[in-house]
Structure 1
Amino acid sequence: MNWDVVIKDFGIYLKLERSMSDNTLEGYLRDVQKLSTYLLIKEVKRTPSNIQQSDIVTFLGYLNNEFHIATSSQARLLSALKSFFSYLNETDQTENNPVELIEAPRLPQKLPDTLSVEEIDKLIEAIDLTTYEGRRNKAILEVLYGSGIRVSELVNLKLDALYFEEGFIKVIGKGDKERFVPIGGESIKQVNLYLTHDRITKSPKKGDEDIVFLNRRGGKLTRVMIFTIIKRLAEQIQLGKNISPHTFRHSFASHMVEGGADLRAVQEMLGHESITTTEVYTHLNKDYLQQIITDFHPRIHQNES
């Protein structure tokens, strides 16, 4: 069993069967290739079918000692190896699974940065609405915050994906997965104003005729352009936070959960495959929690009667 051949077949499987994004796929293949390269360098004659758990443990220890890789990188690498050997098991290429009992390192939970409603209002109010770019940018920020979609989904949003009468937009997410996302009234209003008064003044470039948000020359906006727009607004109002388009997605999810939205519904809107990804938004500030217990716990009002 040749490592290179098996790794190549694994890549095809991830692409076709798992609909994995190119970036994630390449990362998984690199991580499995690291194991193959390590065995070659150390002259350990193992194939994917006869490698042992002790080999994996030694390999992980080698990476940690020699390169001091971060905990998150170790966890991702182990995830890649688990997927690789699970694939070999599923395709009956081996019954051996050397990583099955190896636990991933515990990752510290990092809460995403968010903006308050007041901070989002200040950012939007700072936009110069006397220009084409300004009116377009207001619509962009309203969509990012009003729907929670990813910046990649925003720049690829198409005219025929706007179902405003039904209150939805259709986006293509990770792994080319399609989903319908509800969108609020203010977002719809600003997009309609942009479409009817500004976008019609542009001649879209070939291939971008159906793209909603266009630059001044009629081409599709890039992710970097959206990032720059938001950075400049943050500097303009002296926000004091390092924000990006993804901050609006985090803020949308956080505000929805704090407002009492069902976690499964938020998961569906965000396009998360696993509910555990969405659960990070269940963080609530201490003042909010204190207010909840003050308002609703029966013991708090016991002495008031």
Structure 2
Amino acid sequence: MTSEIPAEDRKRNLKKDLPLTLGISACYLVLSYFLVGYKTDQLVLISIFNLLYYVSAITRKFIIGFSIFIVYWIIYDYMKAFPNYNYNIVHIEDLYNFEKSVFGIEQAGKLLTPNEYWLLHTNSFLDVLTGFFYLMWVPVPLAFAAFLFFNNERRNFLNFLLTFVWVNLLGFVVYYLYPAAPPWYVQQHGFEFIAGTPGNTAGLVRFDNFFGIELFKSIYSKGSNVFAAMPSLHSAYPLIVVYYGAKGKFRKANIFFITVMVGIWFAAVYTSHHYLADVLAGITTAIIGIFSFNWLKERKPLANFIQSMLKLIS
């Protein structure tokens, strides 16, 4: 651990940092305005960042480390400015036919995709359960990262966040190489490609209707790209949590993590947000990302970066 910096010196350092943090915040707002337009989310983000940076030494260290996740969020948001369907053909009918041929379920003499099968067998219990599972894909990784930080597992904290972002970047590459429509798109629009199609709650609308709310509607109205179903990164995230949970020997917590992971995998298909092929691709992306990151972190550039970040947050 680093020695404690005297209060007066700390105040002087923070005053020096003020132009930098305000400048970064202003540049982010300006760039965001021109790329994706103004949104209140952007003000919330920079407010949280600046508040945590200046409120105390421990929150400053936390937000510096957590800025790795913020970078991911900004990249994801900016994808709206560069729709993947502008760069490659969107796969709609061929992906649907592949899903049916490999994972098809026969019912009443007709071959159905798993999504179509569950669309015929919905019930309120599964609607609510899958909705709760799908809500966990963000809070669980964030809470796990916060636990690692405040439990003084700073190296695992950084490795977890960097793995999370690395897996996302790998997934983003596939998004642009292989734009793919989700199952709900076929259910609502058939096999015709319609550029600029807005996000849709699909089967999660049943969760909203059950509770009389518009939670998922508000979430999916902000989606960056409808044609980014392959791979399912929703399916990748919980696997990363389970991996680092196992490394940290959080045995009881990992029972919860594994339950959430399997629940999200099922929910993705049940709610028609992803094909089973998308889920398997997401799992594969997570595995590739974890192993490749473990290799990269032993190489000098990334090892030096991690060591520099550790000094800042320890």
- TM-score, normalised relative to structure 2: 0.26
Relative to total residues, which structure has the larger helix share, 1 or 2? 2
Higher relative contact order (CA 8 A, sep 6+): 2
